[in-house]
A and B are shown apart, each in its own frame.
Chain A
Amino acid sequence: MRVAHLALWLILSLWSVASAQSRLEERHVLEGTSGRVLRILSTADLDVFAPYLAAFAAENPAIGLDYSVVSSADLERMIREGAGYDLALSSAMDLQFQLANDGFALRYQSEATQALPDWARWRGLIFAFTAEPAVVVIARNAVADLTIPTTRRDLISLLRDHPDRFEGRVGTYDVRESGLGYLFATQDARATEAYWRLSEVMGRLDPKLYCCSGAMVDDLSSGDLVLAYNVLGSYARERLAREGSDDLVVVEMQDFANVMLRTAIVPRQAGAPDLAGRFIDHLVEIGLRPDPAHWPLPPLSGIGNAAAPSFGPIRLGPGLMVNLDWLNRRNFFRAWENSIRQTVDAAP
């Protein structure tokens, strides 16, 4: 018990140290003709987001773009500390929501944002422009002779019955490191009891923990992983489409699927809120396109057409703030540690 305690404190302090210094993972600058620059802080990897930037630059050649990629926790902290960005795009809905709730976002309204459904905006402060489900990605050859699981119950049975195939080769988000991973995990835990059993089963298989979906998809395609839970479907599909590979199966859970809304806010300190508004319109128009194809990230409209009955977006509302409370967070980390990290804790 004492050891567990110590480990927890260690992890918490490491987490805070890590988040204290922001790491710009990528940066991409497009020069504009007028000298005005729109500074965007985002969690979306550049290879996924480059087409959006290119399309905007083609329509607005005068405006320069400065696109920086950070983790969602860094993004939240940087905006809160007043970093000079004009637009913040994040997959961590809860963090984005809390920024808006706490008054760190500017109001914006346009014809495009008025066209958004009610669940895709909140108070003219925060706007959704994609709806991306969390999926399970499985290497086809690992389960060639088995039925592909479509519910968490099936997934639990599969992992429990074939530990030899999955030992050390399953991956999921490290919820302490990834804001999106934490969001998916807390929503899972709220929706279904099966989440904790699944975590325990995965915990026994010595899981690999990741910061981001991109890294998980990298390891899946290299063969280091055979199964990843709660991967962003958009990343996986984009990678599969890019590589033309048939090795991976993307499975949307039928019992319950989390759908993350990627959202935009204009930070309070934005120097060019008009440019930010124009970029939001650009994103929302793409997000509301009727045809899901052509863009790397799925549209908002895909949700209405989804076949699964339990398929629905995570609600943009104050309920999201519950999981950001440090007490709830500490309790959740404790429970998650206990289930997923048992092999590590049990080792000594």
Chain B
Amino acid sequence: MTPQGSILRSLTLLLAGVAAVLSILSWLIVSDFARRAVGRAQDNVLAASVTSIAETLRAEMGEVQLELPYSAFSMLGAISEDRVFYRIVAGGRLLTGYDDLPGIAEGDLEIGRVAFATDDYAGETVRLASATRIVAVGGDPVPVTVTVAQTRAGITQVASDLSRRAALISVVFFCIAVLLSAIAARASLRPLSDIAGAVARRGPSDLRPLHRRAPSELSPLIKALDRLILRLAESVRRSEDFIAEAAHRIRTPLTTVRMQSELALREADTDADRERLRRIIRAVDESSRSAGQLLDHATVAFRAEDLVRDPVDLSQLARRCVESIRPTAQMRDIGISLRTDPAPVRGDAVLLDTAVRNVLDNAVKYSPQATDVLIVVGQSEGESFVRVRDEGPGLGTGDFDDLTERFRRGPTAVDHVGSGLGLTITRDVLRAHGGRLVLENCNDEEGNGACVSLILPSG
């Protein structure tokens, strides 16, 4: 299943997009502020310049007189390296300054107030400030207009410097925002990956509810998962119960059939009848064994779910198993020898017994008549083992792992009846105890045959 996009990536991209829009917006706003602020600063200085010139206006000897104060122009030089022009007109006639400097429309001029305009002069854009004052010359009021102009190159430079700096800051902010977005997206998705990890780490038969604390957005998912697990566990348990019940119900009448068949065998008259009855008994034995294994399998599945860990000595356990199987072996003239050293483990004695018995069963079943089965129990390198070795045909060639699959039977088992569940049960038991099953063909000086080892951690 290919994933349909990534929440992390789309969340990060979305947040980065928002950050980019905000950065650009803030840059535009700051740039605009800078332009306005610088423009206003220039207007203020121009107004101060015009006012300080207008203040020196006076009438003297029948003419308008004025003194350009040094500060009127030097203050313009202080804000930027821009060119300065001026024009002073008294009663419509140029008094001093640049004659061709554009003025401000008569209508915009108001006595005592400074008016501003932007125009072109001397090949550059200039900002003009203008004010009119009335000077009484010999009793006649003469309007005198003072105009001061300054180019805008320097202050535009200042504004674009500020704008450039704002752009740099915006880029830095954007980078920080993207970084934080990635961190935030990752952090908000962490509960999701935590849950996925918790589910993925579970063992194949772990069907306990999740019982995790999760953000409110995820609790429906958790609840649904828990309900699903609960239903699954319930269904698994029910089918195992069913199997156990069925096996049990089959085994009881089979025992009766076997007993009756044995009685009939003793009383049979002809060899043909005896042979027929023996076949019946063997088939009943096999069915009973299969039913027993089904029961074992269900038991393993049930008990492994909540494993007890009692101290168990494998050597004693193996001895008991050998004793219980010896009669069957003797029937086919198979000798069982046992070499034991103490092999302590921790686990469920019932399950371990089932595991060892299944292997012994197999060994006896696949051994030709009048051969030996050797069982070795001991410890090596922190592990306890039970090794069962027969002198039978071995396990054949091919993948031994397949042999532990349910209802799978090896290539050398064609002449024998069996369910194919034995090794599966053994493997499941060992796995539940943290151990493993090793299957090999042994070809050495002691002869050929199958060699099955049950290995468990010592405890």
Residues of A within 8 A of B (CB): 101-103, 122-123, 190, 315, 317-323, 325-328, 331
Contacts and interface: CB of A to CB of B under 8 A. Distances in A.
Interface string B54-82: 00000000000111111111101110011
Nearest to B77: A317
20 contacts: A101-B83, A101-B85, A123-B81, A123-B153, A315-B74, A315-B77, A317-B77, A317-B78, A318-B74, A318-B76, A318-B84, A319-B73, A319-B74, A321-B84, A322-B72, A322-B73, A325-B96, A327-B65, A327-B95, A331-B67
B77 A328 contact: no
B1 interface: no
Interface in B77-115: 77-78, 81-85, 95-97
B152 to A, nearest CB: 13
How would you classify the secondary structure of chain A's contact residues: helix, strand, loop or mixed? helix
Contacts of B65: 327, 331
Contact of A102 (B68, B122, B154): B122
Contacts of A325: 68, 96-97
B123 interface: yes
Interface string B296-317: 0000000000000000000000
B157 to A, nearest CB: 10
A327 B73 contact: no
How would you classify the secondary structure of chain B's contact residues: helix, strand, loop or mixed? mixed
Interface of B: 65-74, 76-78, 81-85, 95-97, 122-123, 153-154
A106 to B, nearest CB: 13
A101 B98 CA distance: 12
B67 A327 contact: yes
Most A CB atoms within 10 A — which of B70, B78, B95? B70
A3 B388 CA distance: 147
B70 A322 contact: yes
Contact of B81 (A102, A122, A190, A322): A122
Contact of A103 (B67, B76, B122): B122
A81 B84 CA distance: 21
A321 to B, nearest CB: 6
A331 B69 CA distance: 13
A320 B123 CA distance: 22
Given A101-B84, A103-B123, A318-B84, A328 B74 contact: no
Contacts of A315: 74, 77
A325 B85 CA distance: 11
Most B CB atoms within 10 A — which of A101, A317, A321, A326? A321
Nearest to B123: A103
A321 B71 CA distance: 11
B413 to A, nearest CB: 97
Contacts of B85: 101
Contacts of B72: 322
Given A103-B122, A319-B73, A327 B68 contact: yes
A323 B68 CA distance: 8
Given A317-B78, A318-B77, A326-B96, 7 more contacts: A123-B81, A315-B74, A317-B74, A317-B77, A319-B77, A321-B73, A328-B67
Nearest to B124: A103
A323 B67 CA distance: 10
Contact of B71 (A102, A319, A323, A327): A319
B70 A319 contact: yes
Given A101-B84, A102-B122, A103-B123, A322 B77 contact: no
Contacts of A103: 83, 122-123
Most A CB atoms within 10 A — which of B71, B78, B82, B84? B84
A116 B153 CA distance: 21
A327 B85 CA distance: 16
A176 B66 CA distance: 20
